[in-house]
Structure 1
Amino acid sequence: MTDEFHAGVKAGVSLILPTLAGGISFGVLAEPVLGAAASIVMSITVFSGAAQFAALTVLATGGGALAAIIAGMLLNARWLPMGLALGPSLRGSRARRAVESVALVDASFVVASNGDGTFSRDRLIGSTLPQFAAWNLGTVIGVLGGSFLGDPEALGLDAMFPAFFACLLFDLLKDRTSVVTAALGALIAFVLMPFTPAGVPVVAAACAALIGLRARA
C-alpha cells in the first residue's frame, strides 16, 4: 500500500459520517418501496446516492421500473465528463482501468485531484473504500431500523447532502479557472432546471468540467 493510498483512506474516513447519514436516509425511504433485500442490493451494486434517490422518487410516485432506470442513468451520466478527466491518470489495460474507474464517486474525485488536471489513482481508490462501507452500512441501518428512526427530514439528514457537496466544492475553488468552471456549471444547471427533466441539468452542468480541464491544458 502506498502513501497516496493511505492518504486517500484517511480522507475517506473523514467522510464517513455524511456518507453514513445518506445511506441511512436511503434505507429508511427505500424499504417501504423496494423491500429490505432489494434496497441493500441496490446500494451495493449502484453505489450512487443521487441515482438511487432519483430512481426511488420515480418508483415512490408511481413510475415504472424503466422510468426509474432512466432517471438513475441521467444522474449517473455526470460520470462521463468526470471519467474523461480521470482516465489518463489510471493504469494498465483498458479492462484494468475500467475496474479502477468503479472507485469514481463525487468526493473521491475531489480527494484524488492534484489541482493541475491530473489525479492520484491510489488516493481515489483509498478514499472510496471507507465511503463504500459507510454507505452500505447506513443503508442496512436505515432498512432495519426505519420504524425507529422515523422521517429523515425530521432528523435533519436531508440537509447533510447540500452541506456535504458545498464543502467539496469549496475545497476545489483554488484558482480562477476553478471558480469560473464552478460558476459556469451553476449557471447551466440554473437555466435548465425549469425546462428539462430531473438529471439533465446535473449532466449538462458537469460538462463545464471539460471546459475547465481544457483551460488548464
Structure 2
Amino acid sequence: MRSLLRTLDRATLRDIALVCLADALVGASFGAISVSGGLPLWVPIAMSVLVFAGGSQFAAVGVILSGGGALAAVVTGLVLNARLLPFGFTVADVLDGPWWRRLLGAQVLTDESVAFALLQPDRRRRRAAFWLCGIALFVVWNAAVVLGAVAGGFIGDTDAFGLDAAFPAVLLALVLPSLTDRGTRTAALAGAVVAVAATPFLPGGLPVLCALAGLLFAVRAPGGTAESAAEPEAETAAEPAGGQTGGQTAPIAEEVR
C-alpha cells in the first residue's frame, strides 16, 4: 500500500480521499435505508461484500422495498452492472498477473477506480490509482454500510433525516461537470423525461432503465459535430489552393523552365 501511495501525486490522493468520503455517506444511507425498510441486517452487508456496486445495490433494494420480486431486483442489478464489462477491457493492462489477482481486481472494479486509472499518464500510475482507489473504496464502503445498517435499526424513519436523497445527490454532483456539453445535456434531459413518464406505469427500478433511451440523442450529437468540423477543414484546404493559383503559379512555372 505504501508503494501505491508513493507512486501517485498529492492531488490524486486527495481526490481519491474525497471520493471515499462521499461514498461513505452513500454507503451509510444504503445500510440505514435497507434495514429501516424491513430487510434483515445481514442483507445489505452481504450485498456490499459480494456485489460491491452502489448503484446496483440501491436499485435492487429499491425494487424489493417497493414490492417488486427478487427476479426483477436481480435483473435490474445485472443490467446496471453490465456497464462494467467494457470497463474491464479498458483497464485490462493493470489487471495482469495470477488468476487470484485478476479476480480481486474484478471485484474492486468500479466507476471511480476506472476513472482514476484512466486519468494517469502511464501504466505504472494507472495500476497504482486503480488498486488504491478500488481497495480504499471497498473498505470504506463496507464499513459505512455496517454502521448505517446498525443505525437504521434505531432510526426507524430514514426519510426524516433525508438519507434517501444522499445517493441521488452524489450522482448529481458527479454528473454536473459533464452537463457543460450540449449533447450530454439533451441526452440527460430526454432520459429524465422518459423515466418520470414511465414511473406511474412500471414497477420500481424499471423506469431508471428506460432512461437509457436518452442515449439516442447522445449518439446523434457527434454526427453534427463531425460535419461542422469538416467544413472548416474544407475551407482551410481551399485557401492554399486559391493562394497557390494567384501568387505561386509564376515561380513554379519558372522552376519548370
Compute the TM-score of the two structures, normalised by the length of structure 1. Answer: 0.72
Taking a change above 3 Å as real, the CA distance of residues 83 and 206 of structure 1, as seen in their structure-2 partners, is farther
* Residue number in structure 1 paired with 2:118: 113
* Residue number in structure 2 paired with 1:34: 39
2:133 paired with 1:127: yes
Q: Would you say the 8 A contact 1:39–1:139 is kept in 2?
A: yes
Distance apart, 1:101 and its partner CA: 3.5
* Residue number in structure 2 paired with 1:200: 209
Alpha-carbon distance in 1 for matches of 2:38, 2:190: 33
Distance apart, 1:126 and its partner CA: 0.8
Taking a change above 3 Å as real, the CA distance of residues 162 and 26 of structure 1, as seen in their structure-2 partners, is closer
Alpha-carbon distance in 2 for matches of 1:205, 1:113: 25
Q: In the comparison of the two structures, how many residue pairs are matched?
A: 206
What's the CA shift string for 1:93-143, capped at 9, x where partnerless?
695556424322223333233289x99232122112222222211211122
Q: Would you say the 8 A contact 1:82–1:206 is kept in 2?
A: no
Query: Where does structure 2 lack aligned partners over 5 or more consecutive residues?
Result: 227-257
* Residue number in structure 2 paired with 1:45: 50
* Residue number in structure 2 paired with 1:153: 159
What's the CA shift string for 1:178-205, capped at 9, x where partnerless?
8366436525523642358234246566
Higher relative contact order (CA 8 A, sep 6+): 1
The 5 Å alignment of 1:31-180 reads 31=35, 32-84=37-89, 86-92=90-96, 95=99, 97=102, 99-114=104-119, 120-170=126-176, 179=181
Distance apart, 1:149 and its partner CA: 3.2
Instruction: Kindly provide the amino acid, as one letter, of the partner of residue 35 in structure 1.
Output: P
* Percent pairwise identity: 31
Distance apart, 1:46 and its partner CA: 0.9
Compute the TM-score of the two structures, normalised by the length of structure 2. Answer: 0.63
Instruction: Name the Cα RMSD after superposition.
Output: 3.7
Q: Would you say the 8 A contact 1:18–1:160 is kept in 2?
A: no
What secondary structure, in the 3-state scheme, does the structure 2 residue paired with 1:15 have? helix
* Greater radius of gyration (CA): 2
Query: Where does structure 1 lack aligned partners over 5 or more consecutive residues?
Result: none
Taking a change above 3 Å as real, the CA distance of residues 72 and 110 of structure 1, as seen in their structure-2 partners, is same
